[in-house]
Structure 1
């Protein structure tokens, strides 16, 4: 099944013991600022979070999407808030539930939280500067360089991730799912800004080298479909904006016996600029 349809992102568990009790004095995954739980406390909270996640996965599989979201939220509350990978999985799973319920805005928000959590573990390469400002010029993520530069803080997070039994490939797997889900929700939301965001998400996904054949097909098809929709949405919203500006202008000019029809903009084909002409008789 496609990664954007089923939330079971994480079948592995690096906590072998399952515990149904909370740590004494702590019933959430939020330690004092700047600190971490002890290994025993962390294991207990994470075991509880994993149990709730498994319950939520089961609810999702049976089509109980609202109950699944509630249970994933409980898993988030139990999970230590510095375990970014686990948080990213849960947020991505919640996004999948919202997509099934056609709650597009909520799906976008949850998928974005997943992407941001993974970014704190293993940041993507900085985007290339966009070339030019003409129509259709979009910023896209640059491909990783041959020698990737990683700062000390990121290196520590990656080392901690690997000690927990995860790899950067695992991060990339969840990142792909979250981008697919956000792109899907954005494209369904419609509107110029949402469609542009969806196109940029799919543009990034098109640079991922290890996409599954099904996901690659989804990305290619979606990009081809979004192009015309994006131009239509842009034209429609520009027309609506100009209509509102014209209405505002008419309300200001009316006391003077004028309207926006008295002003005509003429494009200079040589320079590409516009000049404004006033016509009293219009």
Structure 2
């Protein structure tokens, strides 16, 4: 920045033209001919009295550039917003790609599970139940987690139950049917198969419960209705048999204790309540 020496002025107020002339003469006398500052600007007014320039060209240019700097700051904010929007958009695109890739993997896994299930069906029809079990198990393992695979997994568990039933493993049949029903509580075939396995194990009351559930889901299922009618006497008979066995065991225990006092269980008579079906004991000599 170039600073000019003060220029002498007369005490009497001069006109603007005279002040300008005096300043120019001062510069020429200070720097000499040919040494003037390029584009130098002298700011004068009627109120100037000290004869000093108030700003150099560089300072004025800096001041002129200040609004531009402010504008640049605003532009930077706009650029920041653009970056945020771009990041959000890219994140959404990545999410869509991830979901798309996940869907493709699920579809591929479901296709593999279905292929394994079909192979199991072929083996079952050929009477190769052990081999079919492995294929159905493979189908369950490769199926993806989530609701999309619930149907095929439920079917495979029911098919495994059919294999165990053919092999005479009715406990395993019941377990596999229960797994199938956990995935699909309205699976009629699984209910039917479990009821049949429970009947084989003389679990008549449990079998009746399954058949009753079938009738609730399908009122026109005559097979379930006939099964309930057939199973009820068996359930009653088994219940009475269990009671007799329990009474026999209690008698043995009672005789071992009462014998010390010269008595036996024959001194007690079990009387059945016709209303409740429960028993009470009465003492008789």
TM range (shorter): 0.5 to 0.7
Which one has a bigger Cα radius of gyration? Answer: 2
Is 2:48 the partner of 1:43?
no
Q: What's the TM-score once normalised by structure 2's chain length?
A: 0.57
Match of 2:204 in 1: 195
The number of aligned residues is: 183
Q: Higher RCO, 1 or 2 (CA under 8 Å, sep at least 6)?
A: 1
With the length of structure 1 as denominator, give the TM-score of the two structures.
0.57
Residue in 2 that maps onto 1:182 = 194
Aligned-residue offset at 1:275: 5.8
Instruction: Give yes or no for the alignment of 1:58 onto 2:118.
Output: no
Go from structure 1 to structure 2 and tell me whether the alpha carbon gap of 1:49 and 1:179 turns closer, same or farther (over 3 Å shift): same
- Provide the residue aligned with 1:236 in structure 2: 241
Please give the root-mean-square deviation of Cα atoms over the aligned residues, in Å: 2.8
Stretches of structure 1 that go unaligned for 5 or more consecutive residues are 1-36, 120-171
| 1:110 and 2:176 correspond | yes
Write out per-residue CA displacement over residues 222-242 of structure 1, whole angstroms, 9 at most, x where no aligned residue: 222112211111111111122
Cα 1:52–1:226 change in 2 (3 A) is same
Task: Name the structure where helix makes up a greater proportion of residues.
Answer: 2
Displacement of 1:268 in angstroms is: 7.5
Q: Give the SS at the match of 1:207.
A: helix
Counterpart Cα distance in 2 of 1:264 and 1:73: 56
Structure 1 position 247 matched with structure 2 position 252: yes
Shift of the alpha carbon at 1:70?
1.9
State the SS of the aligned residue for 1:63.
Answer: coil
Residues 79-98 of structure 1 aligned to structure 2 (within 5 Å): 79-82=143-146, 83-98=149-164
Name the structure 1 match of 2:12.
none
Deviation at 1:220, TM superposition (A): 2.8
User: Relative to 1, partners in 2 of residues 1:179 and 1:271: Cα closer, same or farther, differing over 3 Å?
Assistant: closer
The answer on whether the counterparts of 1:56 and 1:69 sit within 8 Å (CA) in structure 2 is yes
Structure 1's 272 and 58: CA in aligned 2 closer, same or farther, altered over 3 A? closer
Alpha-carbon contact 1:60-1:97 (below 8 Å) kept:
yes
In the alignment, which residue of structure 1 is the partner of 2:22? none
1:206 & 1:178 partners in 2: Cα distance?
A: 14
